[in-house]
Each structure stands twice: as C-alpha cells, then as structure tokens.
Amino acid sequence: IDRLLLFFCLVCRLNSFFIRQASSKYSSSLYMISLGGGELPRDVKEAVSQCRTSVQNALQNRMSRMDIEMPVGAKFGVEKISKGKKIGGDEDDNTPTREDLDRSDRELARIFVDMFQPLGGDHISVIFNEDNLSQQALKRWKGDSSATCKIMSTGRRGRAKEKKKKKKAMGFAAKLEDEVSDEDSPRGAFQLPDGTEVALFVAPGPNELIVIEKLCKEVGMETLVVLLNARLSKIDNFGTNSANTLFTKEFEPVFHLRAAPQEVAPDCLLHRSYPGGWSLARKPKVGQPKVILSQAEIPTLEECVAAYESMELGNIEKGVETVIDNISGW
C-alpha cells in the first residue's frame, strides 16, 4: 500500500487524460452544490476527478479494499465512437444498450489503469467477467503505452454440459463456488498473475464475487483490490456470512454516484466521496439538484422514504426526467 500511495501521489494526471475535447457534448446538466460529505460533481470529468481524490485519501488511510460505483452507462469519453453511430437504444429511448454498458465499464477500467500506470503494467491486473469482454479490452487498448496492464477474465467456457452430468444437491453458495473453482477443468481455478499489486474487477457479478472472496484471503491486505461498478447494493444474498462481511463491511465505498432506490425515492441519486458522508439528492429536469438528506452513513430505505416524502416540489420539478436520463446521459 505504501508503494501504491507513493506512485499515486507522484502522478496525478487523470484529470487531463480521460476527457477528449470531442466528449464535451456529453457534459452533464448537474450543478456543483455543497453537500455534507463533499460536492456533487457537475459532470463526468468532475466525477472522475473527485473519484481520484477519494482513492488517494483511501490509500493514505491504508485501505486496500475499495468499491467504486459510477452511474449506469456513464459516458466517460475515453473511447472514440464512430461518427454517426448512435449511443443508446431507439431514437425515443435513452436507456443504455448492453453495448453502452460494456463500453462504460471498460472506459472506467481504462481510467483506473492509467491512474495506477506508474506502478508498471506488470503489476496491474484487469479482470472482466467474460472472455469476449477481455478480448475487446485487449483489442482497444493494444499499443497504448498508458494502458499497459494484464487483461484477463474469470469466464469459464465449455463447462455447462459437463456440469449437467453431475446431479449434486447444492445450496446457492455451494453451486457458485463449484462453478468458479473447479481445478479439474482445462482452465483451472482463477488466480491473479504473480506480482499483481492492483487488481481491478470490472462489473463483477455473483460468480465473480466468490472468486474475489477467495483471492482476498490468498493475497492479503498488501494487494489493492478494487471493484468497479459491482452494484453490491443490488445483491440480496452473498452466500456466506464471511462473504457478506467482506462485501458489506470490509470493502469501502470510496466513491459512489448512483441511482437511489427508485421504489422509495424516484428520480433521486446517492453520492459519497471518501472520507465524506452520504447525500441523497433529487435532480429536476431544470435547475440545481436538491439535497434532501445528508448524513455520515448510507441512508436506509426508511430514511430515503422519510426524506423523499418530506421534500417540497416546485412546479418546475414536477416534470422531471428519469434518474437514468439524468446521470447516465452524460
């Protein structure tokens, strides 16, 4: 961790790297406002700059388990998009497509690779869920000296039929563990390359979390493990008590800018920038976001309900965009 912090402090080059001039059309309509735990970023550039600072603060406090969450489908402007190619679904639908989501996750990973590049690419591992996703990254990052790293996936191909032959009665956690740790398979159990100091897991799902739990036990606290867009709040069952403790207690939400629970706080977002607190804010179609709750701990569903029901809406706020339009439409 000391070595990570040294390099991180020496090179703060992220601000100028990831946003191309061409991406200015994606600038957010969010305004900069003061919150209890920091400032709500006004656009994607501000969000990544704030994220970089949060990671540095966490490293200074010797944290080696970090959880980063950016808006669903956020456009970071890292990858060039073919002229005339539309981002999103149908013309009247701004919902991100699967391709948009994969691109957003890959761009965020690319930003973090550049962030830790002074360590040397041999010490940075980027892990995707599927082979095709890792292959896309290999293709897009090839020849870029600022994207040097080891790219791999936890994907297990050609095993579905083999598993069907086994009629074991297993619980949920046992099934996941058996799926990702079969040492008799051609690929064997997933392992990080030797010398890895930073492991970036890109949008890991339940299967990958089992892998991550095992790796965290193996590599110890001297290896920095970062979850990028894991969406842990969407997972109800981590399988075991130890996994629940790891992902809800030990992994620190270093930077979060994401949709709040929409069933209780429609069109609201949650923000946290370490070491600050959490804020619940509502972004109207026009005007400044309105912070309706600010506190040290992440708001519970009950606290979100109370804050949402107690706020007063102006006439102009009644015709709001959806939260997906607000924060992924950067």
pLDDT by residue for the chain (330 residues), tens only, comes to: 666 666 565 545 444 443 333 333 333 333 333 334 567 888 899 999 999 999 999 999 999 999 999 999 999 999 987 665 555 555 556 788 999 999 999 999 999 999 999 999 999 999 999 999 999 999 999 999 999 999 999 975 533 444 444 545 555 555 555 555 555 544 468 899 999 999 999 999 998 999 999 999 999 999 999 999 999 999 988 989 999 999 999 999 999 999 999 999 998 999 999 999 999 998 777 776 788 999 999 999 999 999 999 987 654 454 444 454 555 444
Do residues 135 and 157 touch, judged by C-beta distance below 8 A? no
Residue entry with tokens 């949650």: 270
- Which of these, 108, 120, 142, 110, lies nearest to 197 by C-alpha position? 120
Bridge-based pairing of strands 224-228 and 65-69 is parallel
Amino acid type, 148? T
Length of the chain counted residue by residue: 330
Q: Which residues pair with 30 in a beta bridge?
A: none
- Contacts from 294-303 at CB under 8 Å and sequence distance 24+? 294/35, 294/36, 294/37, 295/36, 296/37, 298/253, 298/270, 298/272, 299/260, 299/270, 301/261, 301/264
Which residues lie below 8 Å from residue 213, measured CB to CB, with a gap of 6+? 242, 243, 246, 247
Phi, psi of 40 (to 5 degrees): -75, 125
pTM above 0.75, yes or no: yes
- Ramachandran region of residue 22, left (φ > 0), alpha (ψ -120 to 50) or beta? alpha
